[in-house]
Chain A
Amino acid sequence: MTPVRFAPEAVRTPFVEAPAEAIANAPLPGTRLWWLALAVPTSVPAPAPGQFAMITPPGALTAGLVLARPFSIARTWEEGGRRIFGILYTRVGRGTDLMTRSPREGWAVLAPLGRGFPLEGKGPAILVGGGRGTAPLVMLAEQLEARGRTVHFLVGARSRADFAGPAEMGAPLIRTRVWEATDDGSRGRRGRVLDLLAEEPELGAALTANGTTLHACGPHGLLAAVGNLGAAGGVPAYTSIEAHMACGTGICRSCVVPRPAGGPKPRPGANPDYLIACLEGPVVPAECVEWARDREAVASGSLVAES
C-alpha cells in the first residue's frame, strides 16, 4: 500500500483578506444549488484544489451574522485583471439565505485557506463527490487532467435538483470521464454514487489499477465509506472534511474532528485527540478521522454504502 501522505507541518499558505464583487450569483437551472462567482484582487493568491475561502456577504453583521462562512473553491480563473472564485452553495441557513439575496458589491473574502488535495499519483484518480461536495473536485479534476492523469469523476446526489457536476459549473474538462448517479434515478444511474464502482467494470478496473488515488468530498458518511473502500483495497483515500468553523485560520479551535486511537501520528505539537479541520485539512487522509465518533458521519450514516 502506498504510504499515507500527510505533511508533517500544517503549512499555512499566505492568505489575504480582500473585498469581493459577486459577478454572478444565481441558481443553477433546475436545481436547488447556486453558483456564485466572486471577483477578488489578484493580490489574493491563487487557491489550490481543495482549499477554501471564508466568505462574508454584504450586510451580514446587520443581519445578525457575526461569522464568515467557509466554502470550497470549485474553480478559479482570471478575468479583467481580477481573480475569480467559483463557489457552489445551497440555501441551508441564515447565511446562505442572505447570500442568495445579496447585491454585487460589498462582499469580503479571506482566502486561500487550508490544505488541499495531493495531485501526485502514478495511476488513475477517482474523484467521488456527493451533493455540493462535488465543488472542490472540479478544480482538482482540471489540475489532475493537466498533469496527464486519468480522471474518473463520480458525481452523486439525492436527485437532479441537488446535482452539479463539472459541466454545470462550467469546467472545460477534456479527458475526465464523468459518471453520474442519483438516489432516485432522476439523473444518471439510480443508486448510490459508490455503487458505480461495483457496477461499472471500467471503474472497477481503475480502482484496482496500480497507483490509483481516491479523492472525496460530501457528507461525512460518504467520506467514511470512501475511506473503507480505500483501506480495503490499499488505495490512498483523501477526504475533504467539514466542521463548525468560526475563523478558518486555525485560531479559534472550533472545527475539530476526532482522530482515531492508533491512527496516523499527528505532526509534533498537534492536538493528539482532534484534527483541526481548517488548519490540518480540510483535505486529510481518510484514516486520520475516526468516522464512528464523528457527529456528521453518524448523522449522514445512511449514505455509507452497504458492504
Chain B
Amino acid sequence: MIAAATMPDLTVRIGSLTLAGPVLVASGTYGYGDEFGDRYALATLGGIVTKTVTLKPRAGNPPHRMVETPSGMLNSIGLENVGLKVFREKKLPKLAAEVPTAIIASIGGETPGELVRLMRALESAPCAAYEINFSCPNVAKGGARFWADTRRLESTTKKLRALTARPLIAKLTPNATDPSALARACEAGGADAVSLVNTFVGTAIDLATRTFVLGRATGGLSGPAIKPLALAQVHEVSGAVAIPVVGMGGIVTATDALEFIVAGASCVQVGTANFARPDAPMRVAAGVAAWCRAQGVTRLSDLVRTVTTWSPA
C-alpha cells in the first residue's frame, strides 16, 4: 500500500489523449518503432512518434547525410520514408499490434493540401495522435521556412482540426525569430499541443577539399549541443500558449528531461540519444520516475514550468 501511495502520477494529457508517461521518442530516431521489436520495454514510454510520412515515398538527400559535431550531430536525411501507402497498410497496423504505447504519426507535406490528404487517409488507420512536421530543415519544398508563416500555420492547422478528433501536435522550427508567434498561430488554429524544438540549421566544412561535408550543404543540428537553446525556447513558448508544450533538444539523461519539464514542457521527446543507445528513452523514463519518487513529487504535472529566477529571500 505504501508503494502505491508513493507512486507518482506520471500521466500527461494532450487533448483527448492520456499518455502513460512523460517520455516519448522523437520522429526519425526510432524508425517505425518496429525495429527493436519487444527487445526493449517500450511500454514504459509515453509514446512513439514515427518517422515523418509523406504522400509519396521519398529517397532522401544525397550523401553525406550526417556528420558528428561537438556534442551533437548534423543530419540532412531529407525525409526519406516509405510513403503513405506502405505506412498506412503495413507499418501502422504492425506497430499498433506490437507496440504497447501510444503511436503518434508524424506527417509532412509540401502544401496544406498534402497534409489534408495525408490526414484523411490516416484517419481510418490505427494511431493515437498526429504530429504535424511544420519544421523539416532539409527539404526544398514544404520545409521549415515555408511553414514559418503564422497565417499559413493557423489556416492549415484549422483545416486539419476540422478533419480529426485525434490530438494534433504541431512541431515547430527553432529557426524563426519569434517561435512564440508560430506556437500561438497553431493554438489559434486548434492544435492540442506544440512540440519543439526541431533541429537548428547548421553546416560543417571539410577544409582539405573546401567542400560542405553534407551533400545538401546544410543540415539540422541536434544533440546536447542544442539543449540550452531548446530549453530557452521551450520556456518562452510555454509562457506564450495555454496548450501543452512537448519539449525536446539534446535530452540524454533524466536530469535533462526534468529540466525541460520545469522549464515548461508537459512531456519530452528523446531523439539523438537513441542512435547511440536504443534503450536511452527507457532509461530516461525510469530516471524521471525515480527522481519524482525520491523528491516526493506526487504528480508530474505539478512540476511543469516551475522554474523561477533566483532572488534573495
A interface residues (Cβ-Cβ under 8 A, vs B) = 12, 14, 16-17, 54, 56, 60-61, 64-68, 95, 108, 110, 243-247, 249-258, 269, 271-274, 295, 299
Given A246-B275, A257-B63, A269-B86, answer yes or no on A252-B75 (Cβ-Cβ < 8 Å).
yes
Contact of A66 among B35, B60, B65, B223 (CB under 8 A): B223
Asked if A271 contacts B63 (CB within 8 A), the reply is no
Asked if B31 contacts A251 (CB within 8 A), the reply is yes
Contact of A256 among B60, B273, B279 (CB under 8 A): B60
- Give the docked Cα–Cα distance between A68 and B60 (Å): 23
Given A64-B70, A67-B276, answer yes or no on A249-B75 (Cβ-Cβ < 8 Å).
no
* B53-95 CB contacts (< 8 Å) to partner A: 59-60, 62-68, 70-73, 75, 77, 80, 82, 86
Q: Does B277 make an interface contact (CB < 8 A)?
A: yes
The number of A-B residue pairs with CB atoms under 8 Å apart is 105
Q: List 9 A–B pairs whose Cβ atoms lie within 8 Å, in order of A's numbering.
A: A66-B252, A68-B277, A246-B66, A251-B29, A252-B28, A252-B75, A253-B60, A256-B63, A269-B86
- Give the docked Cα–Cα distance between A273 and B272 (Å): 25
Min CB gap A296→B, angstroms: 9
- Give the docked Cα–Cα distance between A243 and B65 (Å): 9
- Give the docked Cα–Cα distance between A131 and B36 (Å): 34
Give the chain A neighbours of B60 by CB distance below 8 A: 253, 256, 271, 273-274
Give the chain B neighbours of A56 by CB distance below 8 A: 276-277
Contact of B275 among A244, A252, A269 (CB under 8 A): A252
- Give the docked Cα–Cα distance between A67 and B31 (Å): 17
Min CB gap B276→A, angstroms: 5
Asked if A66 contacts B68 (CB within 8 A), the reply is yes
Contact of A244 among B66, B71, B72 (CB under 8 A): B66
Asked if A274 contacts B35 (CB within 8 A), the reply is no
Asked if A66 contacts B66 (CB within 8 A), the reply is no
Q: Does B278 make an interface contact (CB < 8 A)?
A: yes
Asked if A250 contacts B65 (CB within 8 A), the reply is no
Asked if B77 contacts A253 (CB within 8 A), the reply is yes
- Cβ-closest 7 pairs across A and B: A254-B66, A273-B59, A247-B275, A64-B71, A251-B31, A66-B223, A246-B275
Asked if A68 contacts B275 (CB within 8 A), the reply is yes
Asked if A67 contacts B63 (CB within 8 A), the reply is no
Give the chain B neighbours of A258 by CB distance below 8 A: 62-63
Assuming A64-B71, A272-B59, what are 12 further A-B pairs, CB within 8 angstroms? Answer: A56-B277, A66-B71, A66-B276, A67-B276, A249-B278, A253-B65, A254-B64, A254-B66, A254-B77, A255-B66, A256-B80, A273-B59
- Give the docked Cα–Cα distance between A249 and B30 (Å): 10
- Give the docked Cα–Cα distance between A65 and B252 (Å): 12
Contact of B68 among A67, A250, A251, A295 (CB under 8 A): A67
Asked if A110 contacts B71 (CB within 8 A), the reply is no
Q: Does B224 make an interface contact (CB < 8 A)?
A: yes
Contact of B77 among A54, A61, A66, A252 (CB under 8 A): A252
- Which of A56, A246, A249, A250 has most B Cβ within 10 Å? A246
Given A17-B277, A254-B66, answer yes or no on A246-B73 (Cβ-Cβ < 8 Å).
yes
Min CB gap B118→A, angstroms: 19
Asked if A251 contacts B35 (CB within 8 A), the reply is yes
